[in-house]
Amino acid sequence: MNLDFSQPAPQAKTLDEAQQIIDALWAVIAGYQANQKTLATRLADLEEKLNTHSGNSSKPPSSDGLHKKKKKKKFHGAGKGQALKQGAQPGHEGKGRKLLPPNEVGSVVVCLPPATCGCGGQIKAAPEKVRRHQQCELPEIKPAVTEYRQVHGVCGGCGASHCGALPHGVPNTLLGVRATAAIAVFTGDYRLSKRQVQQLFGDFFNLPISLGAVSNAEETVSNALEQAVEEAKTYVRRQPVVHADETGHKRQGDKMWMWLAATLLVAVFVVRGTRCMGAAKGLLGEGFLGILVSDRYASYNWIKTTRRQFCWAHLKRDFQKVSERSGGAGRIGDGVLGHIRRMFRLWHRLKDGEITRQTFRAAMAPIRSGMEGLLEEGMACGHQKTANTCKKILSHKEALWTFVDIEGVEPTNNLAEQQLRPYVLWRKSSFGTQSERGNLFVERMMTVTATCKLQGRNRLGYITGAVSAYLKNEAAPSLLPAKGEIDAVKLAAKMGG
């Protein structure tokens, strides 16, 4: 029976007609209830999507938009409503710039006291009592121009014409080695545009250059760094612990990906056209045998779970979203977040040397079992998204606790994210690259600058040396850390772990 609710209610004349009306109404009510349940689920999903931010997802903080103003922190002893003041706090030990020794001072100006006092008396200078004040100034920069005069000659025997060659390592270009390296540092590390570099050379260095000279300098530097970067890639693939991450990249507006593999002293960047498993294998090497610290992205699933460590910072954001759901899902999310907070407190105590590795492992045992128990409950909580999340994590549960069992492994992928951040800033200001040559330049420059920062090396000094070696057909300086640096890192990891 079809019911038309725009008409008056039907009147049953027999019991069969009454039953038909009841059945039709029951079907309508059941349909309404099903639709209500579907709409409620869709509404919850839309609200969850609307409330997604950097604290409960992988979205960057810059995408959060407007947010409530954070309350100002209070210092110890502050009264109610008394906010933390800017600048040095009570009890803070001040720090100032130390004076240079006299032999490093360019010039000295002696400032004598006045000859007479306000009372009319004569003032006698006391040379042994001097207040030293040093002021640093930038000198006016004038380019050091070297002119090479290539003399022509003619052979007296055959009449052939000859010309004097430039000295070994001197390029047939306007810019010298250091100027070429400086351009690459400005565009690849300090995130200046080519036009800004052109203006900088004119305003600060009194050296007018063309935009083409900037582009050519980038190509020269890229070629100079090729050998050292390839050596760094091989080094990273052989390390016992590697952190990996990836982010978007654009070439002429086409979507590409910047991949990163980082250790404590070397970081390698590569641009690839995809975010698939093949790109991950190309980054780490198909024969990679170390431990990988990363997020849960599926392109890394070719590595055995026992040799992976999931990033707990990412997991924390996942369960922050779960905790914001209602019912059993929210309770499970709250429980997991509580375990995560306790876990990180223990980890920081271990890193600070307050507890031993043995004590740490013993204290982590109930946290591990409690968290895995909550994940099993989450699989049966009735909320589909929560159940799927818990199921996927449990299928790789060994990757949750590698940092507990193996020294030198961190529970987060912060190392990779910190190294990737400068590239993200570069991408925002440059709008990507325009060619494959541009891709090679940015991935090699990012590799060099990140590695030099990790090792405390001067970036301009290293790149200048690499360009000089390239122009002389010599090997570039190695990016690999010295043995003493490696031993120091191993010792620090052992003490922290």
For residue range 72-117, list pLDDT tens digits in order: 555 555 555 566 677 777 777 777 788 999 999 999 999 999 999 9
133 in a domain, yes or no?
A: no
431 in a domain, yes or no?
A: yes
297 in a domain, yes or no?
A: yes
**By the 8 A CB rule, do 266 and 479 touch?**
yes
Determine which helix (DSSP H) or strand (DSSP E) holds 241, and give its type and residue range. Answer: strand 241-251
198 in a domain, yes or no?
A: no
CA distance 389 to 315: 10
For residue range 354-391, list pLDDT tens digits in order: 999 999 999 999 999 999 999 999 999 888 889 999 99
Domain check: are 391 and 464 in the same one? no
Q: Which pLDDT value is given to residue 280?
A: 96
Domain check: are 296 and 432 in the same one? yes
Domain check: are 266 and 343 in the same one? no
Between 19 and 290, the more confident residue is 290
Determine which helix (DSSP H) or strand (DSSP E) holds 467, and give its type and residue range. Answer: helix 459-471
pTM of the model: 0.80
**By the 8 A CB rule, do 249 and 487 touch?**
no
Q: What is the radius of gyration, based on Cα positions, of the chain?
A: 34
Domain check: are 301 and 417 in the same one? yes
169 in a domain, yes or no?
A: no
Domain check: are 425 and 293 in the same one? yes
Domain check: are 401 and 355 in the same one? yes
Q: Which pLDDT value is given to residue 163?
A: 94
CA distance 358 to 368: 15
Domain check: are 300 and 418 in the same one? yes
Domain check: are 288 and 433 in the same one? yes
Domain end (from 405, 423, 458): 405
114 in a domain, yes or no?
A: no
Provide the domain limits for residue 485: 217-240+248-305+413-496
| DSSP letters for 151-210 | -EEE-TTT--EEEPPPPTT--SSSS-HHHHHHHHHHHHTS---HHHHHHHHHHTS-----
Name the domain count of the chain.
Answer: 2
Q: Which pLDDT value is given to residue 152?
A: 94
63 in a domain, yes or no?
A: no
Domain check: are 322 and 345 in the same one? yes
Domain check: are 461 and 491 in the same one? yes
For residue range 42-69, list pLDDT tens digits in order: 777 776 677 666 676 666 666 666 655 5
Domain end (from 382, 405, 428): 405
Determine which helix (DSSP H) or strand (DSSP E) holds 222, and give its type and residue range. Answer: helix 211-237
pLDDT band at 19 (very low <50, low <70, confident <90, very high): confident
For residue range 397-412, list pLDDT tens digits in order: 999 999 999 999 999 9
Domain end (from 372, 405, 438): 405
Mean pLDDT of the chain: 89
Domain check: are 272 and 391 in the same one? no
pLDDT band at 189 (very low <50, low <70, confident <90, very high): very high
462 in a domain, yes or no?
A: yes
**By the 8 A CB rule, do 425 and 243 touch?**
no
